[in-house]
Chain A
Amino acid sequence: DTAVSQTPKYLVTQMGNDKSIKCEQNLGHDTMYWYKQDSKKFLKIMFSYNNKELIINETVPNRFSPKSPDKAHLNLHINSLELGDSAVYFCASSQLSGGDYNEQFFGPGTRLTVL
């Protein structure tokens, strides 16, 4: 069973389009994250939700809007896509409350290419 899953795995789209990436975790965790890994392989956090509430927003353009319908899902919607949005996006989850060291489990990534 996949612990953290993302769909789609690959996403190719034109500049200006709006797209969504979905993430689901079946670990029962209370916290989920979105990370972006650019072409230089730097991995940087974008957002984090704890119990469906936003707890981290790392100065990401407001074209990016995360949505957490429940604790097991954290989707990422991107409006007006730009060339610079091309990257691999990773979803992750962890258990904050009651956990001792907050190990994060990552999904397989979604490679977004904006043409």
Chain B
Amino acid sequence: DAKTTQPNSMESNEEEPVHLPCNHSTISGTDYIHWYRQLPSQGPEYVIHGLTSNVNNRMASLAIAEDRKSSTLILHRATLRDAAVYYCILKSYGGSNYKLTFGKGTLLTVNP
């Protein structure tokens, strides 16, 4: 699986936007960019995914660079509940690639 690089940790203030970066310079044309997060003492949960175009959903937005070598997860107004480890994962489709390969992720701290 192609590798992703994320900062180990980031800090934000409540109700401010948060931009979580991810570098994936070896991404292939069939790789989708997925984001999951893991709240303390819980299992990971899906946040968002995209291929080429920017994506929005009720949880977050995903901005993908034109060359697809990096992406940014945007939380528009951070809340205390958003404090979690955020994982950026590349996943290709087709064939037998069913698994998610988790890296170290970014630990997001949200200050009140």
A: residues with CB less than 8 A from B are 4, 31, 33, 41-45, 48, 50, 55-56, 58, 90, 92, 94, 96, 101-109
Contacts and interface: CB of A to CB of B under 8 A. Distances in A.
Contact of A101 (B44, B49, B85, B96): B49
A92 B98 contact: no
B96 A55 contact: yes
Given A41-B85, A101-B49, A108 B42 contact: yes
Interface of B: 32, 34, 36, 38, 41-46, 49, 85, 87, 91, 93, 96, 98-102, 104
Contacts of B96: 55
Contacts of A101: 32, 34, 49, 93
20 contacts: A31-B98, A41-B85, A42-B102, A42-B104, A43-B38, A43-B44, A43-B87, A44-B102, A45-B99, A45-B100, A45-B101, A92-B44, A96-B98, A101-B49, A102-B93, A104-B46, A104-B100, A105-B45, A105-B46, A106-B45
Contacts of A45: 99-101
Given A41-B85, A101-B32, A101-B49, A106 B43 contact: yes
A56 B99 CA distance: 8
A1 B96 CA distance: 31
Contact of A50 (B45, B98, B100): B98
